[in-house]
Structure 1
Amino acid sequence: MWRPLPDQQVPPTAFVEKVRGAMRLCTLDSDAMALGLAPGMALADARAQVPELRVFDVDAHADQDWLERLCDGAARYTPMAAVDPPDGLMLDISGCAHLFGGEIALMEDAVARLLRRDIRVRAALGNTAEAAHALARFPGRPAPDEDAAIRRLPVAALRLPPDSEASLRRAGLKTVGEVAARPLSTLAARFGAEAVDALHLLLGQAAHPLNPRRVAPAIQIDHPFAEPVARTEYAVAALEQLVAQACVQLGERAQGGRRFHATFFRSDGLAFPLRVETSLPVRDPPAIMRLFAERMESVSDPLDPGFGFDMVRLAVPRAEPLAASQLALEGGAAKEGADVAALLDALATRAGRNRVLRLAPVDTHIPEQGQLALPAIESRGPAQWQAPPSEYPHAPPTRPIHLFDPPQRIDVMAQVPDGPPHRFRWRRALHEVTRFEGPERIAPQWWKIADGQLEKPEQDRFLTRDYYRVEDARGRRLWIFRHGLYGTERSNPAWYVHGLFA
């Protein structure tokens, strides 16, 4: 269904991109196409034909971001909202239409919101997502029913690759009905099985589930307003009520939330999402609202009500078991580490979840992979660092306190080619080795190489290593290794400094 904008004195618009060193038209509005312009035309030819043409550079990332924001706003109608690149949205309104007065009323409300933002839009209803997509992108004459309207559509509605579509046209098949009239075995043999699959999907003879942008959360609570609210403080107060209700539901389930998503829906169709995350399950409304306050202060795009918010939604997409806790008799914290977890939550909310990290041990014999820097807000199971054997309680550590990433190359002199280092040059300084321990041989991950999990550059990084703990004449202790073995993996193995001891 076509809904044009009100008459405005806006010149025709086109987006251009560089193709083989020349600027060519990529996307055009309907006014530019009505004047004879077409995608692929050179920009110079287009300007000669339409001097008043407005031209903008294509920005695929900005277009995708804008489409995703519109999809988030469409979540007011149904949780099954998906992006249909490069310029479409798919909404599964099954079971939701009655909340808005029916399917036609829901569609007209969605179109009206987009029109208020000067967006030209075509919308259509269909029994399947493919049918709605085709009817919206290829509008035609009125038809007695949906099946008849689909069969009148051009073969481009099948969304086949360009070469397959061209083959159908050369065969004289110009509409979906003409394709459907041919035997399926003939279509599959001449145009491939994908043509038959596309035809079945468009005619509703096969199912293709919609992939929503947001997965349905465990808990979702809405707070609609009778009239658009122009004050952000009032909308935040409504969010506080929703948080309290969500915590009550979490308590009934003996759970705590790990992620909380708040969405402020504006009357013009845009949505402002705010998301917070916790390192431990929580159901404390003041603590959750403090995180939302931190998020509001740190976002680059402020919470602008515009013409007003008409609904606030709170979702809890991730919840975990949380048993009831009891305070100590003398008072104090109910759970050890709660203060540290609250601090981590606040820092990660303000600075970003990937800015606050913690080191987690990994069960591997590769030194540089023995620990991973992961977001501190992600909870992991308890793990213990490898301790020295009990029979040697005062033995020196086998691993240095600092590792270089990547290891630093050194020049080594040894008494025999495969013997311990005798003297080496590192950072333009000569080091005389007075004591050494080793070698400690660390073999490569042969099971990954055998299974083909490591490419050739990765295999070169994991040759056999012989590690030595050495001490130079000045008392500095270093961890160095020989990368490769003589006569097997490398004819002239290289030496590296991998770490420093205390």
Structure 2
Amino acid sequence: MLRISALNDAATHVGLAVDLPLANARAICPDVQVHDADEVADADALNAIAEWCDRFTPLVALDLPHGLFLDISGCAHLFGGEAAMMNLVCSVLTAQGFRVSGAIAGTAVCARTLTRHVHGRIVRDGEEAEAVRLLPISALGADMAVVTGLRRAGLKTIGEVADRGRHEITARFGARFTALLEQALGHSDAPISPRKPLPDYIVEKRFAEPVATEAVISATLSGLAGTLVAAMGKQGKGARQLEARFFRTDGAVRTITVDTGQPVTRGEVIDRLFRERLEALSDPLDPGFGFDLIRLTASRTEIVVQEQRDLDAHVHDQDEVSALIDRIAARIGGKRVVVHLPQDTHIPERAVLKAPAQHHLLEAAQSTWPARVAGEPPLRPLRLFERPEQIKVIAEVPDGPPARFVWRRATHAVVRVEGPERVAMEWWRAGSAVLTRDYFRVEDEEGLRFWVYRDGLFEEIEQQEGKAVLPNWFMHGLFA
């Protein structure tokens, strides 16, 4: 059954309401214009509004499908008080074409209940019950079955329900509705769930007039970096993840994130990392008509461990490498800067693990790789293919090394061969039998060296296929 999910003032005046069946609506108003609801677009618009509201408080929660919760504890004085702050938020959103109803109360449920019938109400602590007493039950936002049941029982307002015993309400309509009622009356509260976790440290700069020049933006970031470092230094902490947010006057918000390999405790390092990041943006920072707020946060911090450094110059090498990795990661992204960690396995494609360098640099420095025999060529190539490529091989004997092979439509005559190196696959990890590999290091007549393998032994293939077939050959890597 199709129902109304939203309507305008004209539809309300003719008697239509939310959740009314569409057939009933057309019976009341045959000329009603109907449009399909777009829940995805509504959610995107609500998220965009929530992103804009971050300029007032970092604690913004979604109240689906059409509402927002803002925890303004300790923030209202920055905007001239609670009334001035609410008027500012509502007037800007109204100017953008939205219909807004706002209220301020000690509990989120009380504020939401008020917005459904009264706009601009500010309720002081302890006055929640009196503020919602005369409102209809439907303002609580409970299930329609509960609202209908209360109306049939003769309880039409929140005050009438509040006067009844809680055990009666719970027995008839459930503990969930009782908890909702208690929160609306201000007798209990439940914390909101912000869209984003609260950062460890926040510093910001508001401008009386929007700024758009690169010099002012850079100078502002530098000043905020120094303030942030000073705040963290009082508690002996350094930043591991930094986030700069630029709030435009038209409501658009741009967020730039920078990760670091070690806790950062210097403002000039933060400033340099953001400069690198801004210069490397594929979509440059567009100030539009200007930014009226720039915020710098430390989303993740760590306690800085004071280490005693000796006079050995090599002690600082690790710090220099970490700083270089941070700068490169700021330009091209942390996922593109990796280190290779050895793994305890004899399977070639699993012997090396790629990990982000910013988070595994120390682990990579302490890793132990297999020792190489002096004067001998490497046993494994430097370059392995992500997927081995099949080749055609001609061998002098069926289970012998290749004498000639065709790879990528080019024929190579083999002049030198080393092997085989037999690798038995990890049969306990596979759901079916896995063939044994025989690896060969081969060199062609032009001096190119390859790493190829025969996938399976003849006796293994005969047992699996039940008939004599030739094993497949693959190119797995290239030697430098």
1:5 aligns with: none
Normalized per residue, which structure has more helix?
2
The question of whether the paired residues in 1 share the 8 Å contact of 2:50 and 2:68 is answered with yes
Tell whether 2:354 aligns with 1:354: no
Q: Secondary structure at the match of 1:86?
A: coil
TM-fit CA distance, 1:135: 1.7
TM-fit CA distance, 1:123: 0.6
Task: Identify the range of structure 1 (463-472 vs 129-138) with the bigger mean alpha-carbon deviation.
Answer: 463-472
2:85 aligns with: 106
Shift in CA distance, 137/295, structure 1 to aligned 2, threshold 3 Å:
farther
Read off the aligned partner of 2:176 and give its amino acid letter. E
What TM-score, normalized by structure 2, do the two folds share? 0.69
Tell whether 2:79 aligns with 1:95: no
TM-fit CA distance, 1:382: 1.2
Query: 2-side partners of 1:466 and 1:89: how far apart?
Result: 59
The question of whether the paired residues in 1 share the 8 Å contact of 2:381 and 2:451 is answered with no
Q: Deviations over 1:12-54 (max 9, x none)?
A: xxxxxxx9xx9x9764444555565867759xx8998357x8x
Q: Deviations over 1:386-410 (max 9, x none)?
A: 64489x8899988776666567899
Read off the aligned partner of 2:113 and give its amino acid letter. A
Read off the aligned partner of 2:219 and give its amino acid letter. A
The question of whether the paired residues in 1 share the 8 Å contact of 2:240 and 2:301 is answered with yes
1:300 aligns with: 283
Query: 2-side partners of 1:347 and 1:388: how far apart?
Result: 29
Tell whether 2:58 aligns with 1:58: no
Query: 2-side partners of 1:315 and 1:69: how far apart?
Result: 20
1:467 aligns with: 436
Tell whether 2:424 aligns with 1:440: yes
TM-fit CA distance, 1:209: 1.7
Structure 1: segments with no counterpart, 5+ residues: 1-18, 412-419, 446-460
Query: 2-side partners of 1:142 and 1:313: how far apart?
Result: 30
TM-fit CA distance, 1:188: 4.3
Query: 1-side partners of 2:293 and 2:316: how far apart?
Result: 36
Task: Identify the range of structure 1 (164-173 vs 194-203) with the bigger mean alpha-carbon deviation.
Answer: 164-173
Tell whether 2:91 aligns with 1:121: no
> Which of 282, 294, 303 lines up with 2:264 in the alignment?
282
**Number of corresponding residues:** 450
Query: 2-side partners of 1:210 and 1:148: how far apart?
Result: 23
TM-fit CA distance, 1:103: 2.4
TM-fit CA distance, 1:283: 3.5
Shift in CA distance, 143/219, structure 1 to aligned 2, threshold 3 Å:
closer
Shift in CA distance, 406/158, structure 1 to aligned 2, threshold 3 Å:
farther
Query: 2-side partners of 1:164 and 1:480: how far apart?
Result: 71
What TM-score, normalized by structure 1, do the two folds share? 0.67
Structure 2: segments with no counterpart, 5+ residues: 393-398, 410-416, 445-449
Query: 2-side partners of 1:287 and 1:92: how far apart?
Result: 33
1:450 aligns with: none
Query: 1-side partners of 2:379 and 2:176: how far apart?
Result: 60
Pairing of 1:57-456 with structure 2 (within 5 A): 58=38, 60=40, 63-139=42-118, 145-160=127-142, 174-181=156-163, 183-229=165-211, 231=213, 233-251=215-233, 253-267=235-249, 271-297=253-279, 298=281, 300=283, 302-304=285-287, 306=289, 308-320=290-302, 321=304, 323=306, 335-338=316-319, 340-361=321-342, 371-379=352-360, 381-383=362-364, 387-388=369-370, 436-438=420-422, 440-444=424-428
The question of whether the paired residues in 2 share the 8 Å contact of 1:478 and 1:501 is answered with no
Q: Deviations over 1:220-265 (max 9, x none)?
A: 2233334444545324322221212333444555543222222334
The question of whether the paired residues in 2 share the 8 Å contact of 1:296 and 1:303 is answered with no
TM-fit CA distance, 1:178: 4.8
Query: 2-side partners of 1:293 and 1:182: how far apart?
Result: 63
Query: 1-side partners of 2:341 and 2:452: how far apart?
Result: 24
Query: 2-side partners of 1:398 and 1:164: how far apart?
Result: 74
TM-fit CA distance, 1:122: 0.8
Query: 2-side partners of 1:338 and 1:111: how far apart?
Result: 49
Q: Deviations over 1:322-358 (max 9, x none)?
A: 64898979xx998315554444334433333334444
Shift in CA distance, 472/403, structure 1 to aligned 2, threshold 3 Å:
closer
Shift in CA distance, 164/278, structure 1 to aligned 2, threshold 3 Å:
same
Please tell me whether Structure 1 or Structure 2 has the larger radius of gyration of its CA atoms. Answer: 2
The question of whether the paired residues in 2 share the 8 Å contact of 1:480 and 1:499 is answered with no
Q: Secondary structure at the match of 1:109?
A: helix
TM-fit CA distance, 1:128: 0.8
Identity within the alignment, %: 32
Q: Secondary structure at the match of 2:246?
A: strand
Query: 2-side partners of 1:127 and 1:443: how far apart?
Result: 63
Read off the aligned partner of 2:316 and give its amino acid letter. K
The question of whether the paired residues in 2 share the 8 Å contact of 1:388 and 1:397 is answered with no
Shift in CA distance, 227/79, structure 1 to aligned 2, threshold 3 Å:
same
Task: Identify the range of structure 1 (118-127 vs 202-211) with the bigger mean alpha-carbon deviation.
Answer: 202-211
TM-fit CA distance, 1:91: 1.6
The question of whether the paired residues in 2 share the 8 Å contact of 1:124 and 1:135 is answered with yes
Query: 2-side partners of 1:299 and 1:31: how far apart?
Result: 46
Q: Secondary structure at the match of 2:335?
A: coil
Shift in CA distance, 367/84, structure 1 to aligned 2, threshold 3 Å:
farther
Read off the aligned partner of 1:93 and give its amino acid letter. I
Query: 1-side partners of 2:90 and 2:440: how far apart?
Result: 75
Task: Identify the range of structure 1 (128-137 vs 171-180) with the bigger mean alpha-carbon deviation.
Answer: 171-180
Query: 2-side partners of 1:294 and 1:188: how far apart?
Result: 59
Shift in CA distance, 351/50, structure 1 to aligned 2, threshold 3 Å:
farther
Shift in CA distance, 279/499, structure 1 to aligned 2, threshold 3 Å:
same
Query: 2-side partners of 1:166 and 1:69: how far apart?
Result: 35
Task: Identify the range of structure 1 (468-477 vs 311-320) with the bigger mean alpha-carbon deviation.
Answer: 468-477
Query: 2-side partners of 1:395 and 1:213: how far apart?
Result: 58
